[in-house]
């Protein structure tokens, strides 16, 4: 009897797993796509679809990963740094030997929305199919037309440098089961069309969660949706409406302006977000940007509370103020006002208050370069101060800006700066400092 029950249970569990795997791995939604014509075949794509597809490619920021710096567009070769090793992006031009020239539209749909290659192997979720799965058939048809219109580039993809066990693609079966939600975008009926469009772009093509939602140990999204995450030694900040850490004190217009131009009167995009703005968001139309802003501003977020700030007369604050006056004030201004469109303001800037201040430490140690966009070509820069300021002074000045002009955040310990200095291979200060 007992044995029968166990066996029965086992059958149920196995069947359950089987069913889950089946549902999770199902690409039936992609069957709507054509499976005859190959990318490199001579039938030309429809020009109107190509135009729209170019816009979808911008929404998805495909070029960011599939174009190497200084390389040919969409020919791959960009090394994506992940906690598990380097994943090299592939050539997605319609070249028969090295690209996707032999792929059909259905092959393409499966890869983009379900992480499956033409040969049936599984893609790593570095390719954000877990977001793209929400993209509509119509958007994907257009995107496919655009991909077919590209000039084929002969460039073989480089091998990945993932260690065991991450080099086993089949392991992604388990990852998908745990973290891949195989479902198209479902509009929320009680929300407006604008809100739904914003959410569709944020969660689908925009794949904002890839950086802005914290990951668990296996690289899956946690439940802290868009509430800020560690990213390559830096921090992708919270982008909900949270007042302390998110976009709560930005107007929707400021969000739109930031995504369109790379800056607003408070913040300036640089680093990874700078790239996202340069390659993707600056090209989104104002309606889509407004919808994205509307949606992000509707998210309550983490509900984080501002800690009690440090008093201005604390020794570390006084030291920080001196460092600020002699090193930072020339550009960031007397009371942290910055310069609109080129130099970030510190005053009441949630970017200053992130939990560890990793981006701030990195900016001081390594410097940074603002995004250059069609509407703001300046690309102002932050120089490295690694050679000039020691760990104690950097910690003090960051603690100072994190606790001045409407900001309150934990102090930055000098040891954390020292650690980052080593990790970022930044210069050591010249002797005597």
Partner 1 sequence: MANARPKADVVVIGLGWSGSVIAEELARAGLKVVAIERGAWRDTATDFPPSVDTDELRWATRKEILQPPKLETYTFRNNATQQALPVREWSNLTLGYNVGGAGTHWAAASWRFNPFDFQPYSKTVERYGKQQLVPGLQVQDWGITYDELEPFYDRFERIAGTSGQAGVINGKIIPGGNPFEGSRSRDFPTPPLVPSRWNDIFTQKTTELGYHPFPVPAGTISRAYVNALGVHMGPCTYCGYCQLFGCGNWSKSSPNACVVPALMRQPTFEVMTETEVLHINKAPDGKTATGVSFVGKDGVVGEQPADIVIVAAYQLDNVRLMLLSGIGEPYDPRTKRGVIGRNYSFQTLSYAYLWFENEYLNPFINTGCLAIQIDDFNADNFDHSGLGFIGGAGIQSLSNNGLPIGMAGVLPKGAPAWGKGWKQSFQHSYQNWAMVQGQGTSYSHEDAYFDLDPVYKDNFGRPLMRMTFDYNLNDKRSGEFVRQKCEAIAKAVGGTQVESYNFAADHYTPFRANDSSHTIGGVVMGTDPKTSALNRYQQSWDVHNVFVLGASSFPNNGGFNPTVTIGALALWTAKAIKEQYVKNPGPLVQA
Q: Report the interface residues with partner 1, using CB under 8 A.
A: 327, 329-331, 339-343, 367, 369, 372, 375-385, 388
- Report in angstroms the alpha-carbon separations of 409 from 142, 244, 329, 338: 46, 9, 20, 19
Q: Nearest approach, Cβ of 183 to partner 1 (angstroms)?
A: 42
CA distance linking residue 67 with residue 61, whole number of Å: 10
Nearest of 269, 218, 223, 52 to residue 143 by alpha carbon: 52
Q: At its nearest, how many Å lie between partner 1 and the CB of residue 146?
A: 21
In the bound complex, what is the minimum distance in angstroms from residue 381's beta carbon to partner 1?
3
| Cα–Cα dist 278/49, whole Å | 23
Element spanning 81, H or E: strand 79-82
Residue 255 or 343: the one with the smaller Cβ distance to partner 1 is 343
CA distance linking residue 389 with residue 169, whole number of Å: 45
Closest CA to 112 of 137, 77, 76: 137
For residue 199, give the nearest of 272, 130, 297 by alpha carbon: 297
CB of 28 to partner 1, least distance (A): 45
Could you tell me the smallest distance in angstroms from the CB atom of residue 148 to partner 1? 25
Closer CB to partner 1, 170 or 377, in the complex: 377
CB of 343 to partner 1, least distance (A): 7
Cβ closest to partner 1, residue 170 vs residue 430: 430
Residue 333 in tokens = 């201004």
Nearer to partner 1, 1 or 334 (CB): 334
User: Of 147 and 273, which has the nearer Cβ to partner 1?
Assistant: 273
Smaller CB distance to partner 1: residue 222 or 375?
Answer: 375
Share in percent of the chain as helix, strand, coil (round to 5): 45, 10, 50
Q: How far is CA 235 from the centre of its chain?
A: 10
Q: For residues 230 and 329, which CB has a smaller minimum distance to partner 1 in the complex?
A: 329
Give CA angle at 348 (338, 419), nearest 5°. 80
Q: C-beta of 72: minimal distance to partner 1 in Å?
A: 16
By C-alpha distance, which of 257, 183, 181, 253 is closest to 213?
181
- Give the nearest distance from C-beta 88 to partner 1 in angstroms: 28
Closest-CA residue to 92 (of 56, 141, 57):
57
> Which one, 118 or 388, has the nearer CB to partner 1?
388
Min separation Cβ 190 and partner 1, Å = 42
- Going from the C-alpha of 167 to that of each of 87, 141, 171, 288, the distances in angstroms are 10, 32, 8, 38
C-alpha to C-alpha distance for 266 and 350, rounded to whole angstroms:
10
Q: What DSSP letter does each residue of 213-238 carry, written as one string?
A: S-B-TTS-B-SSTTEEEEETTEEEEE
Pick the closer one to partner 1 by CB: 219 or 367: 367
């Amino acid at each position: 009897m007992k044995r029968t029950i166990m066996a029965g249970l086992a059958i149920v569990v196995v069947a359950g797993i089987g069913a889950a795997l089946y549902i999770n791995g199902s690409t039936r939604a992609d069957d709507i796509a054509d499976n005859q014509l190959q990318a490199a075949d001579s039938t030309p794509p429809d020009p109107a679809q190509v135009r729209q597809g170019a816009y979808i490619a911008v929404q998805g920021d495909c070029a960011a990963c599939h174009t190497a710096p200084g390389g040919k567009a969409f020919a791959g070769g960009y090394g994506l740094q992940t906690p598990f090793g380097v994943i090299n992006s592939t050539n997605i031009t319609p070249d028969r030997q090295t690209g996707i020239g032999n792929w059909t539209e259905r092959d393409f749909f499966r890869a983009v929305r379900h992480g499956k290659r033409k040969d049936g192997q599984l893609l790593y979720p570095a390719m954000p199919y877990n977001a793209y799965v929400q993209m509509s058939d119509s958007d994907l048809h257009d995107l496919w037309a655009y991909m077919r219109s590209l000039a084929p580039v002969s460039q073989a993809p480089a091998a990945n440098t993932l260690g065991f066990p991450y080099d086993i693609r089949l392991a992604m079966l388990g990852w998908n089961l745990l973290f891949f939600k195989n479902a198209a975008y479902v509009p929320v009926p009680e929300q407006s069309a604008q809100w739904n469009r914003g959410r569709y772009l944020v969660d689908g093509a925009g794949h904002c969660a890839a950086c802005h939602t914290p990951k668990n140990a296996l690289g899956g999204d946690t439940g802290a949706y868009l509430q800020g995450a560690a990213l390559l030694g830096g921090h992708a900040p919270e982008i909900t409406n949270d007042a302390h850490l998110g976009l709560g004190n930005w107007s929707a217009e400021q969000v739109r302006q930031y995504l369109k131009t790379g800056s607003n009167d408070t913040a300036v995009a640089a680093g990874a977000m700078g790239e996202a703005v340069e390659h993707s968001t600056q090209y989104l139309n104002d309606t889509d940007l407004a919808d994205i802003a509307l949606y992000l501003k509707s998210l309550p977020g983490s509900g984080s509370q501002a800690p009690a700030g440090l008093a201005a007369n604390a020794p570390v604050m006084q030291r920080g103020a001196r460092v600020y006056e002699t090193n930072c004030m020339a550009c960031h201004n007397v009371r942290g006002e910055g310069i609109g469109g080129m130099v970030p303001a510190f005053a009441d800037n949630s970017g200053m208050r992130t939990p560890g201040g990793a981006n701030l430490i990195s900016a001081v140690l390594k410097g940074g370069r603002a995004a250059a966009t069609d509407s703001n070509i300046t690309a102002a820069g932050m120089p490295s101060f690694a050679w000039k300021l020691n760990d104690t002074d950097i910690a003090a000045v960051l603690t100072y800006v994190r606790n001045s002009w409407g900001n309150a955040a934990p102090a930055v310990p000098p040891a954390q700066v020292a650690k980052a200095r080593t990790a970022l291979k930044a210069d050591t200060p010249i002797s005597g400092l």
